[in-house]
Structure 1
């Protein structure tokens, strides 16, 4: 089981943000996490990736604990097993596309591999922009660079937060094509958090969260 989350509860003051009995994803089973704003999607993503500690509950990533361990252990597990495509992308502005990937690779668990970086840049269609800095990229190019960066350590789990919400229908489907094909080529399992129901039909496994109407 790649993701095994049980009895997750997260509260802020007297407000319950997330209350989820179970969330499980097997290796190779690409999954969609749906829900409107306020449903706890981002909270769940942050808990699964170790960026946030739940009030209670457990998370295992590829059999290793993400909860109940030190921040250093969570960071190490995230580096080893997870690639993240943030909604805000978070490319390093002073570095080129190639340098962003090289930095991510150097911070990961494996040795630097320039050939792998070139392969990823080509795969996402950015060979002609490899030496451009983020400020010189279009939004679509920046998203592609962020996907390549997330995949450069060959993560078991690729997580993307709202990758299509700002795109028109054609570009939204193209982005999902790119994410699915890139994940497959890297042997990664894809988890997308979104409120975009246009892509629902592309995923056999989908979980829909609803806002919690009553504060506990």
Structure 2
């Protein structure tokens, strides 16, 4: 089991943000997390990837504990197993596309392989922009660069948060094509959090989260 979560709850003040009895994902089983704004999709993504500690519950990633681990252990597990594509690109502005990937690979693996990086940049269609900095990229180019950065460590789990929310129909489908093709080439399992029902037919499995009422 690549992802195994049990009894997850998360509260902020008197408000319950997430209440999920169980959630599991098998390796190579791509899945969607669907739901309206306020349903806890991003919170669940952040808990699964160790960026947020839940109020209660347990998360295992490829058999290793994410919850209950030290911050250093969560960082190591995330580096070893997870690639993240955030809603905001979070590329290092002072570095080129190639340098962003090299930095990510060095941090995760302690090494940088120029040939691997250039092959990945080519796979996402950015060979002609490898030496460009983030501010010089179009929105679509920036998204592809962020996907390449997430994949450069060959993660077991590739997580994307609302990757199509700002895209029109044609570009939304192109983004999903790219994510699915890139995950397949890297052997990664893809988990996408979204409220975009346009991409639902592309995934065999979807989990629908519901917005929770304010607790008293």
Q: Identify whether the pair has TM-score above 0.5, normalized to the shorter chain.
A: yes
Task: List per-residue Cα deviations over 1:163-190 (Å, max 9, x = no partner).
Answer: 0011110110000000000000001000
Deviation readout 1:49-89 (Å, 9 max, x if unpaired): 00000000000000000001101100000000000000001
Greater CA deviation, 103-112 or 69-78?
Answer: 103-112
Counterpart position of 1:20: 20
Q: CA deviation at 1:110?
A: 5.2
Equivalent residue pairs, number? 216
1:112 aligns with 2:112: yes
Cα distance in structure 1, aligned partners of 2:7 and 2:17? 13
- For 2:210 and 2:114, the matched residues in 1 are separated by 43
**2:41 match:** 41
Q: Say whether residues 1:126 and 2:154 are aligned partners.
A: no
- CA deviation profile, 1:152-210 (whole Å, cap 9, x unmatched): 00000000010001111011000000000000000100000000000000001100101
Farther off after superposition, 102-111 or 113-122: 102-111
Q: 1:215 deviation in Å?
A: 1.1
Question: For the Cα contact (< 8 Å) 1:7–1:20, is it kept in 2?
Answer: yes
Tell me the TM-score normalized by structure 2.
Answer: 0.99
- Structure 1 unaligned residues grouped into runs of 5+: none
Aligned to 1:137: 137
**2:205 alignment partner in structure 1:** 205
What TM-score, normalized by structure 1, do the two folds share?
Answer: 0.99
- Deviation of 1:213 after TM superposition, in Å, equals 1.7
Report Cα offsets for 1:97-152 as digits up to 9, x if no partner. Answer: 00000000000135321111001100000000000000000000000000000000
- Aligned-partner Cα distance in 1 for 2:110–2:124: 21
Question: What SS class does the counterpart of residue 77 from structure 2 fall into?
Answer: helix
Aligned-residue RMSD, C-alpha: 0.8
CA contact (8 A) 2:14 2:214 kept: no
Distance, in Å, in 2 between the alignment partners of 1:10 and 1:52 is 9
Aligned residue for 1:9?
Answer: 9
The residue that corresponds to 2:184 in the other structure is 184
CA distance in 1, matches of 2:126, 2:82: 23
In structure 1, distance between residues paired with 2:209 and 2:215? 16
Unaligned runs of 5+ in 2: none
- Aligned partners of 1:92 and 1:214: how far apart in 2? 38
Q: Is the 8 A contact 1:110 1:153 kept in 2?
A: no
CA contact (8 A) 1:160 1:192 kept: yes
Runs of 4+ in structure 1 off by over 3 angstroms are none
CA distance in 1, matches of 2:213, 2:23: 21
Is 1:58–1:67's contact at 8 Å kept on the other side of the alignment? yes
